[in-house]
Amino acid sequence: MPTCEICGSNQTEFFHKIENYSYYQCHNCTALFLHPRPPLQILTKYYRSDFEYTAGEANEEQNRLRAGKILAKLKEFNSRGRKLLDIGSGFGYFLDEANNLNFRVSGVEPAKKIYKTAINLRLKTKVKNLSFEKYYERYKSQTFDFITLTHLIEHIPYPHDFITKVLDLLNPGGILYIETPNLNSRLFKAEKTNYTFLTPPDHIWLFSLASLKFLFKKIKRVEILRASSYSQPEHLMGILKTKLKNTGHGSKNNSNRPSTPSLPMSGYRRGFQNVKYLFFDKLLAPLFTPWLNIGGYGSILELYIRKS
């Protein structure tokens, strides 16, 4: 069995295979990981050419609202800080919100298709279309008061090396924010091998708070200031679907990545969408989504970490 890079244990077990990709789980730190990991050159090429992220664009309003909350917390933990780097800055909504709040923003977005969106073009002198490795080589002398990694660390083949480099770019007393799927969640417990976030080759690592603590214990230099979790209505939908199907082996559930319908909807389908909207989005989701978070078992993990 492969060794877990996060905690060094070889108490790992095969978990699930999707196409040619195999996931293993570590019994010691609970991390779930892709093995073998795709080579870095292949991943770089994949992000340069093929990678798209439709859900990110569809959820602009939600992402901007969340950005405001994250930025307020960052200020609370480091009130004098101004310089912010968002690695994997996507469509640029987070950077745009930060820019509006007078943060001095920089971003790195390796995916070409995503980089070419309107906001990124508007912020173009501030966002670099580079892989993190290239960015680090060229700009490592520039340091920041805040670094944000939103839905990024799960894509990184060697998280330990990556986080070590990221911390090099952070000033002492600076804050690192990490947001990533939470393996210790009601969503994972319900979906298991159909887990929404088992998406190879994008997602190489899936973490719980326990596994991230192992990672940061190795790195030292840091203190976890706050760890919490949250969920989105589509995660509740994912759990309901799994419960209704009552099977762990259905078709792949991509409920967190809705594709934009490209054809006009039929009347029947529109009717269904309206019922779904009223019943689910307006009634069920606001009532039950907060329930997913009780006890720290929300679908997405959020960490605020201070560099000493």
To the nearest whole angstrom, how small is the minimum distance from the Cβ of residue 222 to Zn ion? 19
Measured CA to CA in angstroms, residue 304 lies from 54, 64, 77, 147 at distances of 27, 19, 9, 10
Rounded CA-CA distance 96/91 in Å is: 9
Single-letter code of the amino acid located at 223: E
Q: Closer to Zn ion by CB, 31 or 87: give it.
A: 31
- The footprint of Zn ion on residues 10-69 (CB under 5 A) is 26, 28-29, 31
Residue 4 interacting with Zn ion (CB under 5 A): yes
Of 6, 108, 156, 169, which one interacts with Zn ion (CB under 5 A)? Answer: 6
Does residue 204 contact residue 198 with C-beta atoms inside 8 Å? no
How many residues in the shown chain lie near Zn ion by CB under 5 A? 8
To the nearest whole angstrom, how small is the minimum distance from the Cβ of residue 44 to Zn ion? 26
Q: Closer to Zn ion by CB, 6 or 190: give it.
A: 6
Q: Closer to Zn ion by CB, 9 or 171: give it.
A: 9
Measured CA to CA in angstroms, residue 107 lies from 19, 94, 121, 164, 250 at distances of 33, 10, 12, 18, 38
- Both tokens of 112, joined, read 């070409």
To the nearest whole angstrom, how small is the minimum distance from the Cβ of residue 87 to Zn ion? 24
To the nearest whole angstrom, how small is the minimum distance from the Cβ of residue 14 to Zn ion? 15
Q: Closer to Zn ion by CB, 113 or 218: give it.
A: 218
Sorted by sequence, the CB contacts under 8 Å of residue 26 that are 6+ apart come out as 4, 6, 7, 9, 11, 12, 32, 33, 211
- Both tokens of 157, joined, read 């083949």
To the nearest whole angstrom, how small is the minimum distance from the Cβ of residue 293 to Zn ion? 25
Residue 187 interacting with Zn ion (CB under 5 A): no
Q: Closer to Zn ion by CB, 50 or 161: give it.
A: 161
Does residue 54 contact residue 113 with C-beta atoms inside 8 Å? no
Residue 183 interacting with Zn ion (CB under 5 A): no
Does residue 145 contact residue 171 with C-beta atoms inside 8 Å? yes
Q: Closer to Zn ion by CB, 131 or 180: give it.
A: 180
Rounded CA-CA distance 177/225 in Å is: 10
Return the range that interacts with Zn ion (CB under 5 A); candidates 4-12, 80-88, 139-147, 188-196: 4-12
Does residue 257 contact residue 181 with C-beta atoms inside 8 Å? no
- The footprint of Zn ion on residues 76-105 (CB under 5 A) is none
Which residues lie near Zn ion (CB under 5 A)? Answer: 4, 6-7, 9, 26, 28-29, 31
